[in-house]
Structure 1
Amino acid sequence: MSNQPIALPANQPEQFYRGGAAIAALRGDPEADYGPEDWVASTTTLFGQDEAGLTRLPDGRWLRDAVRADPVPWLGPAHVAEFGADTALLVKLLDAGQRLPVHCHPSNAFAAEHLSGRHGKTEAWIVVGTSGPDPTVYIGFRDDVPPSDISGWVTAQDSAAMLDALNPVVVKPGDTIFVPAGVPHAIGEGVFIVELQQPTDFSVTLEWRGFLSDPDAWHLGLGQETALGCVDLRAKHVEDLLTRTGPRVAPSVNLLRAKADPFFRADRLHVSGTRALEPSFAVLVVLEGSGTLDSLPLHRGSTVVVPHAAGESVLTGDLVAVRCRPPLPSSLGS
């Protein structure tokens, strides 16, 4: 394998909702206006698909297969000892050209019991752009919801009731939102995020009418009663999930709280000159400026996968980037 950082082109598997213009604008690539999600350094496929969603490396191999064939150089010995040949991370650029439906994702335990999966889908959103007068996300129920209510809303496809039950949050660039598995949520039109998540495509789409062409697809083949068992019906406080980091300027700004550490890590790098990065498997998204990572040229919109074997990589230039990493192996502490 190469032990150097690798630049990746857009990877936009077909989705059911509109978007993509913000991805194209960031990348400076009109062809990137092809879909609302760009799966960066992905070893994950769309639910039920064999290849759609996977990242292809410049040498023609799927990144998934390259990591499986030689996991230690890609991921590092401590990561492999804990997670095996599994990156334990999926990064996306997501541009909501319309409001997404109300949905949620299974936990690790639910995925293991019902979906033969190692991972559920806890995720986090790093807001990097907004458009329109009211860029809003919806996160967690405002009050405890009885099981009979959510079942009735889903059966009747009562979109208004579902959306009204959630906490609305107007967001701006620099905001980060942690979304634990099970917490219902929706992303509003005009919100552009870098999303970190566990590497699955498990979604329970509570609000499917007008979004999914197959009315049975919303429950992942589990049936309504079982699927609704993954929904967190408890009230959530926005302040427990939202962090506003926009005004912070430092060499490295931690974007997530400690509760996210078992799932992923993210920081915003402000580089003016030279900055050394410790060895780690990482995904880099350049938001502003230009420079180099070792000998690899970087510019606004660059997306890069960095293998652990790259060692202490050096960022040089004048740029702002989001660095996304898997959970820290427990053997290395917190």
Structure 2
Amino acid sequence: MIAPVVLGENRPTPRPYRGGAAIERFRRLADSGQEWLPEDFVASTVTTFGSAEQGLTVIDGITLRDRIAADPAEYLGEAHLAAFGADTKLLSKLLHTGDRIFVHAHPDGAYAQRELHLANGKTEAWIILDVDGGQGSAWVGFRDDVDEATLATWFQTQDAATMLGAMNEITLRPGDVLFVPAGIPHSIGAGMLILELQEPADLSIILEYAPYERLTKADSLLGLDEATALRAVTRAAVSAAQIDGWLGRVSPGSFLPAAAAAFFRAEGVVVTAGHDVELAAQFAVLVVTEGAGELAWDGGVLAVRAGDTVLIPFGAGTVRVSGDLTAVRGMPPAAG
């Protein structure tokens, strides 16, 4: 039996924006003094774009990718294998925005397969864990249709102010959830700690690169020509009503908008003394956000506390959670 395991930090570098201090506080890590570690790839079987190893989770010297390849049924379950093969269909991240993240968009699955010969696009959802000052801003989708020539001009002139001004600005607070379909241009304000669930890929078309010292135009296009790269961006207007449909709040049980179900699932787990919660057998990542407790399964017991990220393989079977804690369980889409 493969047991649940508390994962160590996995913070690839370099990344093109500053951040990371809030990840260290959340995970109870010593202050690294480094500004360029804004992401923690959790239970990752994928690398950062263009890298052979950066981003892969390693457990006792062996990558999770290799572990799953050696025993996919034990990690993922037969139903998942029948539906998706040995692809976990999930990447979880902790992300801290020391800077406002540049305006960018992620290719969808069809585009990734056609233009990049990769299996997955990058639809994602943000679960807001903390925000400096209690609330922050994000910019999501264009308010009005943008024609191809206009988007190309904004990119060529690096007119970030006009791009941001054309987008829907929204306010986000701790506990908020936002689903962001692939293709939708977006930017995330500084000072936010986010648990991000996404398809397992590291793919961004970066529309705003000029102010960021670690970015160049070449970095922004995934190795594609400009016209092809910009076709990954959704130029159609995104209405306030659409964004309302993508917004939610963390709550016990399933809480993501229905549109997310084809890509990943999440549920809030709330446990109090004497009121244990059973988690059915499922490949999952459990992120403990408050409190402390234990996970128990037929093969053992694991103590957990706030800041822990736990990989739970399918083969652990039913897992009982006890103690006094809150957590988020991220999962791939349901098989079938």
Give the TM-score range, shorter chain: over 0.9
Contact kept? 2:102, 2:206, Cα under 8 Å: yes
Indicate yes or no: 2:333 matched with 1:327: yes
Deviation at 1:134, TM superposition (A): 5.2
How many residues are aligned here?
324
Q: 1:5 to 1:134 in 2, by over 3 A?
A: closer
Measured in 2, the distance between the counterparts of 1:306 and 1:32 equals 28
Which range moved further: 218-227 or 231-240? 231-240
Q: 1:308 to 1:139 in 2, by over 3 A?
A: same
Measured in 1, the distance between the counterparts of 2:286 and 2:241 equals 27
SS at match of 1:132: helix
Deviation at 1:173, TM superposition (A): 1.1
- Given the alignment, which residue of 222, 225, 230 partners 1:223? 225
Contact kept? 2:135, 2:174, Cα under 8 Å: no
Aligned to 1:266: 266
Aligned to 2:247: 243
Deviation at 1:255, TM superposition (A): 2.3
Contact kept? 2:103, 2:185, Cα under 8 Å: yes
Measured in 1, the distance between the counterparts of 2:78 and 2:134 equals 48
Q: 1:33 to 1:121 in 2, by over 3 A?
A: farther
Contact kept? 2:105, 2:185, Cα under 8 Å: yes
Tell me how large the CA RMSD over aligned residues is: 1.4
Aligned to 2:3: 4
Measured in 1, the distance between the counterparts of 2:240 and 2:65 equals 36
Contact kept? 1:23, 1:32, Cα under 8 Å: no
- Given the alignment, which residue of 27, 43, 46 partners 1:44? 46
Indicate yes or no: 2:304 matched with 1:302: no
Q: 1:133 to 1:279 in 2, by over 3 A?
A: closer
Measured in 2, the distance between the counterparts of 1:33 and 1:176 equals 30
Measured in 2, the distance between the counterparts of 1:190 and 1:102 equals 16
SS at match of 1:25: helix
**Percentage of matched positions with identical amino acids:** 44
Q: 1:151 to 1:320 in 2, by over 3 A?
A: same
Measured in 2, the distance between the counterparts of 1:32 and 1:271 equals 32
- Given the alignment, which residue of 312, 321, 328 partners 2:318? 312
Deviation at 1:257, TM superposition (A): 1.4
Measured in 2, the distance between the counterparts of 1:213 and 1:188 equals 18
Deviation at 1:281, TM superposition (A): 0.1
CA deviations 1:70-89 (Å, max 9, x no partner) are 10010010101111111011
Measured in 2, the distance between the counterparts of 1:147 and 1:110 equals 17
- The one-letter amino acid of 1:8's match is L
- Given the alignment, which residue of 34, 55, 58 partners 2:57? 55
Measured in 2, the distance between the counterparts of 1:233 and 1:213 equals 23
Measured in 2, the distance between the counterparts of 1:78 and 1:32 equals 42
Aligned to 2:90: 89
Deviation at 1:215, TM superposition (A): 2.2
Q: 1:94 to 1:23 in 2, by over 3 A?
A: same
- The one-letter amino acid of 1:297's match is A
Aligned to 2:109: 108
SS at match of 2:276: strand
Contact kept? 1:137, 1:187, Cα under 8 Å: yes
Query: Taking structure 1 as the reference length, what is the TM-score of the superposition?
Result: 0.94
Aligned to 1:23: 23
Contact kept? 1:24, 1:33, Cα under 8 Å: no
Q: Runs of 4 or more off by more than 3 Å in structure 1?
A: 31-34
- The one-letter amino acid of 1:50's match is A
Contact kept? 2:77, 2:315, Cα under 8 Å: yes
Query: Taking structure 2 as the reference length, what is the TM-score of the superposition?
Result: 0.93
Measured in 2, the distance between the counterparts of 1:106 and 1:301 equals 31
Aligned to 2:156: 155
SS at match of 1:261: helix
The aligned runs of 1:202-217 (5 Å cut-off) are: 202-211=203-212, 212-217=214-219
Contact kept? 2:248, 2:256, Cα under 8 Å: no
SS at match of 1:126: strand
- The one-letter amino acid of 2:221's match is H
Contact kept? 1:99, 1:188, Cα under 8 Å: yes
SS at match of 1:329: coil
Measured in 2, the distance between the counterparts of 1:157 and 1:182 equals 19
SS at match of 1:19: coil
- The one-letter amino acid of 2:12's match is P
